[in-house]
Chains A and B, each alone.
Chain A
Amino acid sequence: MRQQLLSLLLLACAAMIPTSAEVPSLIAIQDARIVTVSGAVIEKGNVVLNRGIITDVGPAAAIPKGAWIVDGKGLTVYPGLIDAFSTWGIPEAATAAPATGGGRGGAIQVQITPGQAATPQATPARSQGPQDRPGTNSWVKAADLVKPTDRRLDQARGAGFTSAVTFPRQGLIGGHGAVVNLGGETSGKMIVEPDAGLHMTTQPSGYSGYPNSLMGVFAYFRQLWLDAGHYKLSRELYAQSPASVPRPEYDRALEGILGARRLLLPASGPIQLDRMTGLSADLKTPAVYWGVVEGYRMADTLKKAGASVILNVKWPVKERDTDPEQVDSLRTLELRDKAPTSPAILAAAGVRFAVSSDGIDAPRDIIRALKKSIDLGLKKEDALRALTLSAAEIYGVSARLGSIEKGKIANLIVTTGDLFDDKTKVQLIFVDGVKYLPPPETPQGPAGGFPGGRPGPTGPVDQEVR
C-alpha cells in the first residue's frame, strides 16, 4: 500500500515537473523573431511582459532590470492562438460530439443544471409552444461554467492556444459564450470577456415537443425576441412608476436574450447562411456565422453582408471502413476537395474569418488543417491572422488579444520556427504573462491527457508556494 502510494506520488511529481517553473512577473524575451500579426515581423527584437501585460516590444525594446530573461535566439514569438468557437474550459463538454447546427447528427450535450445537479431530473414535459421556452438556455453563461481543471487545456496550450471563445451548447439557444484565457488558477481568472455572444442552432435537441421543424424554430426565435422586447418595455415602465404599474414577472430566459450583444448562428452552406442573415436582421442583433463548411461557395454573400465567420476546419474526408463499391457522390467529392480551399477564398474576398476546434480532438490538428489550406493557396499571414487577431476582432477584444503590441494581454507563444511547419515545436507558452511548458510528448491516453488517465496538473506552480 505504502509502495503504491509512493509510486503514485512519484508519478505525480514526474508529471508535474515539465509544466512547473519559477516565473517572476517581469519577463523579457530577448533577440527573438517576433511575429506581431498587427504589424511587420521583427526579425530580431525583444518582448517585455510585466504583470500579465505586454509592456514593450520592438527591435530595441529596453530590457528592464530584474527581468526574467528568455534567450530568444533562433526562436520565434507569436501571439497566443485563439480557438474562436470552442468548448474548451467547460469540462462537461469534453466528451460531447461537435456541433452541427442543423439537420441530424450529434449535438453538444452539456449538462447544465446548476443548483439541481444532485436531484434526479424529472422527465421534462413536452413543450407545447413558445411559452414553454423550449431548448432555451439563454441564462446560461460559459463564464459561470469554465474551470481551469478541464483536462483539455494542457493539450490546447501545448499546441499554442492561449485563449478560446467557449460556448455552452445545449438546446436551441445554448447560452452566452465567454472569451477565456486557457490558464489561471481560478475560473474567474480565466475570463477575459464574459459576454462573447449567444450560441444558437436550429437543431431540435435537449427538449421535446415544439418546435420540431425548421419553420417552428424560426417562428419560435422571432416570438422569443418579441417577448424580450416587450419584457424590456414593461420593466422600464415599472421602473418609472412602480406605484401604479403591476410588477412584471422576472424571466431569466428573456434577461438572457436582452443581454446578447451578438448571435452565433450556424451557416454550413449558402442556403442556411441566407436564412440566418435574415434571422439576424429580424432579431435586430448582429451575427457571427459558424460552421461555414461550404465557405468556398459563400464568400460573395458573406462579403456583401459584411459578415464575419468562424470556420470549422475539420475538413471532410472519406470515412474509414466504407463499402468499397460505394461511389461517393460528386457533391461529397466536391465538398472534400473544396472545403480546405475555403480559407483562401474567404481571405481573397476580404471576409474576416477565425477558426474553430469543433470536431477536432488534438488541438495541434487545427494548425495542420490550416497548413493544408496554406498549401492550397492561403497566405500564411492570413492563416495566422485567423488564429489570432481576426478572432479577437470578431469578439471585440482586439484591444486586448490577438497580437503582440504594447498594452495587450501577455498571451504569447515561443516556438522553434514557423508555426505551420509540422517540425516546429512550441517551447514556451505565456498566458496572462504566466509561463507554461507544453505537456510532455508521451503517447497519449484516450482522454488525450496524462498517462494513466488522471487529470494532470494544469496551471503554473504558485509563486507563493515556492
Chain B
Amino acid sequence: MKLVFALALALPVLAGQNDSFLIRNATVHPVSGPKLDNASVLVIDGKIAEVGAKIATKAKVRAIDGKGLHIFPGLIDSGSPIGLVEIASVRESSDTGEIGEFNPQIRALIAVNPESDHIPVTRANGITSVMVVPGSTGGRGGGSGSIISGQASLIHLNGWTWEQMEIRRGGALQMTWPAISSGGGRFGGGGDPDSMPAAMAARRTPFSEAKRNQEAQVRKIQELFESARRYQQAKTASEPGFKPDLKLEAMIPVLEGKLPIMVFAAREREIREAVQWAEKEKVKIVLAGVRRPGKMTEELAKKNIPVILSSPFTPPLEEDDPYDEPYSLPGALHKAGVKFAFASFGTQFARNLPYEASQGVPFGLPYDAALRALTLSAAEIWGIADQYGSIQPGKTADLIVTDGDPLEIQTQVKMMFIKGEAVDLETKHTGLYKKYLARP
C-alpha cells in the first residue's frame, strides 16, 4: 500500500506529462456499463482515451499497477457552499446569503476560496466536483428570506485559482419556492418538552394570513420573470434607450432554457406549485431539498423533473413519520423513475456524501442507483454528462482509485485524478495524524 501511495506522490516527476497515465489490472466501474475485472484505463492529456481488458500503449505514458484496486468516476456533490463557507458559525468566514429577495446576477464561482480546508477533506472520500451554491444553507450568514440567491457554479475540487476550478460558471439558478408557513414547527413551536399546553399554545400565524404572504411572494417571482422577458425583448430588438441591468441580464439564460433553476421545495404542495409555475414560465427546473413529494412523485417522473436530495441523517419531517422516512425516499423515487442526485448542502459534512447516498440502499434503493446518483445522474441533471459522470472514452479523467466500494465507510481512496492530474489526498486530518504520530 505504501508503495502505491509513494508512487502516486511521485507521479508528476515520473510521467512525461502530468495528465497522462495508464492504470492496469484494476476493477473498473464505468457506471455507464457493467464493471470490468482486470481492466485498464488509459488517460491521455486529461481525457479518458481507452477502457478495456488489454490496451496496447502506443503513447509513452507512465503505467500504474492497479492490482486489487477499483476505479470509479469521481463523485459529484450536487449542492454545497464549499469554498464560500469555512466555519458556518463565524460570520467573517461565511460568504453565502447575499441580502435581497432576488439576486440572479450573483455568481458563486468568483467567491470560491481554493485554499479552503474543506476541499482536501471532501476530496479524501472521493468527491471530485461540486455544485457550489451561493444561498445560505444555515449558519450565521445572511440571506434568509431570499427567493433567488444567485447562480450556483460547478467546480472541480482542485486548482490554484477559482478559474482553474471552474467546470461551469452558471450551473443553475438557486431559488427557494415560498412555502406557506403557519405551523410552529415540528412540535408546534417547541418549548418545554414536558409542557404540552405551552407547546400547543405556541404562537402561530393563521393559515389564511400565511397563505396571503406566500401568494404575495409568488407574485413577486412572476413579476421578476415578466420584467426579464420584457428586458430580453428590448435587448433583442435593440430598443433605443435600452439600459443594461445585470439582474435581468442574468435571467436571459434561464428564459432561454440554458440555465436550469434549482428550486428548493420540500413538500408536495410547494413541489406542485413550483412544477406548475415552471411549466407556465417554460423554464427548466431541478427540485432540491425534496422531503415529501407525495403524489407528485409520479408527476416528476412523467415530466422528467430531476431531484436533488439532501442528507437523510435527519429526523423525519413529522413527529409521527416512520424513522426511516428520510432513508426510504431515494428508493421510492428510484422505483417511480425519478432521476435524482445527492447534495451535502454543507461544508463540514460534505465528505459524508457517499455514505448519505448509501443509506438508501438497505431501504429499497438498488446499489447501482445510489452510485449512479453520485456520478452519472448528477452529471446528466447538470448537463455535463458528455464530459463527466462515467468512465468512457472521450470524457474528462475525473477518477478515483480505491481499495473497495467508495460508498462503504471503511474504503480508502488511494488515488484521485482530476482532469487526469493526480490530486494530493493529504488533508488537515492526515497532517495532524502524522504530526502527533511522530511526537516523541
Residues of A whose CB lies within 8 Å of any CB of B are: 100-106, 202-203, 214, 268-272, 291, 293-294, 312, 316, 319-327, 329-332, 335
Q: What per-residue 1/0 map shows which CB atoms of B323-357 lie under 8 Å from chain A?
A: 00000000000000000000000000000000000
On whether the beta carbons of A293 and B319 are closer than 8 Å, the reply is: no
Report the bound CA distance from A102 to B190 in whole Å: 12
On whether the beta carbons of A268 and B198 are closer than 8 Å, the reply is: yes
On whether the beta carbons of B198 and A102 are closer than 8 Å, the reply is: yes
Instruction: Please name 17 further chain A to chain B contacts, defined as beta carbons within 8 Å, in addition to the given A105-B198, A321-B207, sorted by A numbering.
Output: A102-B192, A103-B198, A104-B191, A104-B192, A202-B192, A203-B198, A268-B194, A268-B198, A270-B194, A272-B192, A293-B196, A294-B196, A316-B197, A322-B204, A329-B319, A330-B320, A331-B319
* Interface SS of chain B: loop
Among A312, A320, A322, A335, residue most surrounded by chain B Cβ atoms (within 10 Å): A322
The residues in B between 287 and 325 inclusive whose CB is less than 8 angstroms from any CB of A are: 318-320
Q: Give 9 closest A-B pairs by Cβ, nearest first.
A: A103-B192, A103-B198, A103-B191, A271-B194, A103-B195, A329-B319, A104-B191, A321-B206, A102-B195
Q: Measured between C-beta atoms, what is the minimum distance from B293 to chain A in Å?
A: 13
Q: Measured between C-beta atoms, what is the minimum distance from B104 to chain A in Å?
A: 30
Q: Measured between C-beta atoms, what is the minimum distance from B186 to chain A in Å?
A: 9
Q: Measured between C-beta atoms, what is the minimum distance from B307 to chain A in Å?
A: 20
On whether the beta carbons of B194 and A323 are closer than 8 Å, the reply is: no
On whether the beta carbons of A316 and B200 are closer than 8 Å, the reply is: yes
Is residue B208 within 8 Å, beta carbon to beta carbon, of the partner chain?
yes
Q: What per-residue 1/0 map shows which CB atoms of B177-209 lie under 8 Å from chain A?
A: 000101100011111101111111110101111
Report the bound CA distance from A101 to B201 in whole Å: 12
Choice from B187, B194, B204 contacting A319 with Cβ under 8 Å: B204
On whether the beta carbons of B183 and A269 are closer than 8 Å, the reply is: no
Chain B contacts for A329, CB-based, 8 A: 187-188, 318-320
Chain B contacts for A321, CB-based, 8 A: 206-209
Residues of B whose CB lies within 8 Å of any CB of A are: 180, 182-183, 187-192, 194-202, 204, 206-210, 267-269, 318-320
On whether the beta carbons of B197 and A291 are closer than 8 Å, the reply is: yes
Chain A contacts for B207, CB-based, 8 A: 321-324
Chain A contacts for B199, CB-based, 8 A: 103-104
On whether the beta carbons of B194 and A104 are closer than 8 Å, the reply is: no
Choice from B182, B189, B200, B318 contacting A323 with Cβ under 8 Å: B182
Report the bound CA distance from A293 to B201 in whole Å: 13
Q: Measured between C-beta atoms, what is the minimum distance from A331 to chain B in Å?
A: 7
Chain A contacts for B202, CB-based, 8 A: 104-105
Report the bound CA distance from A202 to B197 in whole Å: 14
Chain A contacts for B200, CB-based, 8 A: 316, 332, 335
Task: With CB as the reference atom, state the residue of chain A lying closest to B187.
Answer: A329
Chain B contacts for A214, CB-based, 8 A: 192
Choice from B183, B190, B198 contacting A326 with Cβ under 8 Å: B183
Report the bound CA distance from A363 to B182 in whole Å: 30
* Interface SS of chain A: loop
On whether the beta carbons of B197 and A104 are closer than 8 Å, the reply is: no
On whether the beta carbons of B195 and A100 are closer than 8 Å, the reply is: yes
On whether the beta carbons of B208 and A101 are closer than 8 Å, the reply is: no
Contacts A319-B204, A321-B207, A329-B320; is A100 near B183 (CB within 8 Å)?
Answer: no
On whether the beta carbons of A101 and B198 are closer than 8 Å, the reply is: yes
Report the bound CA distance from A327 to B188 in whole Å: 11
On whether the beta carbons of A100 and B198 are closer than 8 Å, the reply is: yes
Task: With CB as the reference atom, state the residue of chain B lying closest to A320.
Answer: B206
On whether the beta carbons of B191 and A269 are closer than 8 Å, the reply is: no
On whether the beta carbons of A104 and B189 are closer than 8 Å, the reply is: yes
Chain A contacts for B318, CB-based, 8 A: 327, 329
On whether the beta carbons of B204 and A269 are closer than 8 Å, the reply is: no
Contacts A321-B206, A321-B207, A322-B182; is A102 near B194 (CB within 8 Å)?
Answer: yes
Among B202, B207, B209, residue most surrounded by chain A Cβ atoms (within 10 Å): B207
Among B189, B197, B199, B318, residue most surrounded by chain A Cβ atoms (within 10 Å): B197
Report the bound CA distance from A269 to B193 in whole Å: 10
Report the bound CA distance from A291 to B188 in whole Å: 19
Contacts A326-B183, A327-B318; is A332 near B194 (CB within 8 Å)?
Answer: no
Chain B contacts for A105, CB-based, 8 A: 191, 197-198, 201-202
Report the bound CA distance from A326 to B268 in whole Å: 12
Q: Measured between C-beta atoms, what is the minimum distance from A351 to chain B in Å?
A: 19
Among B187, B196, B207, residue most surrounded by chain A Cβ atoms (within 10 Å): B196
Task: With CB as the reference atom, state the residue of chain B lying closest to A325.
Answer: B269
Report the bound CA distance from A316 to B198 in whole Å: 11
Report the bound CA distance from A51 to B199 in whole Å: 48
Report the bound CA distance from A101 to B200 in whole Å: 13
Report the bound CA distance from A345 to B383 in whole Å: 64
8 contacts across the A-B interface (CB closer than 8 A):
A105-B198, A291-B197, A322-B182, A322-B204, A325-B269, A326-B183, A327-B320, A329-B320
Chain A contacts for B204, CB-based, 8 A: 319, 322
Q: Measured between C-beta atoms, what is the minimum distance from B323 to chain A in Å?
A: 14
Task: With CB as the reference atom, state the residue of chain B lying closest to A312.
Answer: B197
Chain A contacts for B194, CB-based, 8 A: 102, 268-272
Q: Measured between C-beta atoms, what is the minimum distance from A335 to chain B in Å?
A: 6
On whether the beta carbons of B180 and A323 are closer than 8 Å, the reply is: yes
Chain A contacts for B192, CB-based, 8 A: 102-104, 202, 214, 272
Report the bound CA distance from A320 to B319 in whole Å: 21
On whether the beta carbons of B183 and A104 are closer than 8 Å, the reply is: no
Chain A contacts for B189, CB-based, 8 A: 104
Chain B contacts for A326, CB-based, 8 A: 182-183
Report the bound CA distance from A324 to B210 in whole Å: 12
Q: Measured between C-beta atoms, what is the minimum distance from A398 to chain B in Å?
A: 29
Task: With CB as the reference atom, state the residue of chain B lying closest to A294.
Answer: B196
Report the bound CA distance from A324 to B268 in whole Å: 13
Report the bound CA distance from A334 to B204 in whole Å: 21
Report the bound CA distance from A271 to B196 in whole Å: 11
Among A104, A268, A272, A332, residue most surrounded by chain B Cβ atoms (within 10 Å): A104
Q: Measured between C-beta atoms, what is the minimum distance from B100 to chain A in Å?
A: 28
Report the bound CA distance from A202 to B268 in whole Å: 40
Chain B contacts for A104, CB-based, 8 A: 189-192, 198-199, 201-202
Q: Measured between C-beta atoms, what is the minimum distance from A296 to chain B in Å?
A: 12
Chain A contacts for B208, CB-based, 8 A: 321
Report the bound CA distance from A272 to B209 in whole Å: 35
Report the bound CA distance from A312 to B201 in whole Å: 14
On whether the beta carbons of A293 and B269 are closer than 8 Å, the reply is: no
Q: Measured between C-beta atoms, what is the minimum distance from B385 to chain A in Å?
A: 36
Q: Measured between C-beta atoms, what is the minimum distance from B197 to chain A in Å?
A: 5
